[in-house]
Amino acid sequence: MSFDHEQIAGLIRKLAGADQLLAQTYSDGTLLADDENRAAINSLKKFGILRTADTSDEYRLTSDIKRLIDRLLLRNQRYQQSINMAKIILNVEEDIEDYRRAVEQNRQDEAQYHLIQIDDTLYEAIEALENSLSVMFAAIISQFGFVGSLSSKIRQNQRALNYAQDLVQELNQVRINDCYGWLSWSTIPPELSRKVINFIDQHKSIVERLTGIVGRMKELLFKLRLQEQTANRCRAMAYFLRQHPEWEALDWSAEASIPALLKRGAGLALQPGINTANPVLQADLTAIVQELRRQSKPVAPLARDSASQPLNTEIPDRIAYDQDLYETHIENLFALALQQQGRKISALHYWREQSLEVKAELWLDMVFAQHCCLPQRVRHAIILDMQGESLAGFDGNQIIEEIVLQRVA
């Protein structure tokens, strides 16, 4: 057994022999030395497993050991990692070139060394991306798994979305054509081609998953902002009720004098199954039953071809974020209102100037809805003057005919 093997085996034996001591240190954060464990602590410190804490009698796990345990237990992980794909690809290209020279000159030990370097670099890159995506997705789908308020959750999801967009830029540094170029020499060993093809397939999978995660983050961010608006309105209503306990809601929904805009629609009649007594459905149901009876044998299952499929060498398209046209126009309208330093901006004037195809009423509704979803600081900086016909006898309700935006100091 070589010296390296002895050193590794001794380190593993040292970890196994102090399992309870290390588990206590990891769980409690620190370990207090006494007469019973001082010898074991000194031995672990000599191996670089423990380090001195703030006081001489307290010890902690070294950062490498703690990071290893965190990584294996999938705890305390951050999805925001510094991943430089351009540098990784450059290192792989250099190692492949050195590997090719060693193979051509029949230097087997050197070739094996470079092959291990290539495998480690590609594996670490994919593993870092996989861990980042899995932890990031867990962070955004857990409603209150990491923070304790809606506003904090919104900020967390916004940071995750920004990181995902930066990660897309890093993934775009990988050009699949260049990766296939690593396999262009005629006598390439199969062990290298397997590693490169596996890296390409996993890269494509990560790009597809990242596209889904970005869409999921945008959807959740929109829902969280709506929930924040609902919570703010509930708090405001609760404060109003505390100040005015005599207030009672008026039940005017069934009155004949209210406008059609405010009338409630009839509820849906739901049934747990198909109503076979309905004469409208009986003809179709009878035809289905007769067709099933005419079949002499059941439908044969689809033939599944288990033959190997050719490798897909198509270059994946760059991820194009789906940007809503009218959402972009509304953002430009808000930005224009902020730039005018107090001058009033007409939403209808912008609608006519841009020749938008949507109806004016729907455009005004979208402007108002997007204003409600703005962050609190931006929403307070832009006030909306809702102009239109008020509905007599119904406080706070009106048919909006114009919205004027103005920045306030």
67 plus 96 within the same structural domain? no
Q: How far apart are CA 18 and CA 23, in angstroms?
A: 9
Assess if residue 289 is contained within a domain.
no
pTM of the entire predicted model: 0.44
Assess if residue 316 is contained within a domain.
no
pLDDT (0 to 100) of residue 404? 92
159 plus 226 within the same structural domain? yes
92 plus 183 within the same structural domain? yes
Among the candidates 178, 201, 235, a domain finishes at 235
111 plus 221 within the same structural domain? yes
- On average, the pLDDT of the chain sits at 79
Assess if residue 199 is contained within a domain.
yes
101 plus 217 within the same structural domain? yes
Assess if residue 66 is contained within a domain.
yes
pLDDT (0 to 100) of residue 321? 60
pLDDT (0 to 100) of residue 299? 67
pLDDT (0 to 100) of residue 1? 42
Among the candidates 187, 215, 235, a domain finishes at 235
Assess if residue 314 is contained within a domain.
no
Q: How far apart are CA 307 and CA 20, in angstroms?
A: 52
Q: Which of 334, 372, 339 is nearest to 350 (CA)?
A: 334
Assess if residue 283 is contained within a domain.
no
Give CB contacts under 8 A, 24+ apart, made by 102-105. Answer: 103/187, 103/189, 104/187
pLDDT (0 to 100) of residue 346? 92
pLDDT along the chain (409 residues), means of 10: 68 81 80 81 82 74 77 58 76 86 85 86 82 70 60 78 78 79 80 85 83 78 84 88 81 67 68 80 86 75 65 70 78 89 88 89 89 84 84 67 86
CATH number, domain of 115, equals 1.20.58
Please write the tens of the pLDDT for every residue from 151-173. Answer: 777 787 788 778 777 777 777 77
**What are the residues whose beta carbons fall under 8 Å from the beta carbon of 318, sequence distance 6 or more?**
172
Assess if residue 116 is contained within a domain.
yes
104 plus 230 within the same structural domain? yes
Among the candidates 73, 104, 120, a domain finishes at 73
Element (H, E) at 382: strand 382-390
Q: How far apart are CA 136 and CA 78, in angstroms?
A: 8
Please write the tens of the pLDDT for every residue from 322-374. Answer: 667 888 899 999 999 888 877 899 999 999 998 888 888 889 988 988 888 88
99 plus 217 within the same structural domain? yes
CB crowding 141-169: b at 16 or more within 10 Å, else e: eeeeeebeebeebbebbeebbebbeebbe
Please write the tens of the pLDDT for every residue from 46-79. Answer: 888 888 776 667 788 887 787 777 666 655 455 5
181 plus 41 within the same structural domain? no
pLDDT (0 to 100) of residue 333? 92
Residue 100's domain comprises 85-235
Task: Name residue 368's amino acid.
Answer: F
Q: How far apart are CA 293 and CA 27, in angstroms?
A: 67
Q: What is the chain's percent helix, strand, coil content, to nearest 5? A: 60, 5, 35
Assess if residue 280 is contained within a domain.
no
pLDDT (0 to 100) of residue 350? 92
Answer whether 79's CB lies under 8 Å from 146's CB.
no
57 plus 30 within the same structural domain? yes
Element (H, E) at 58: strand 58-61
Question: Into how many domains does the chain fold?
Answer: 3
50 plus 110 within the same structural domain? no
170 plus 195 within the same structural domain? yes
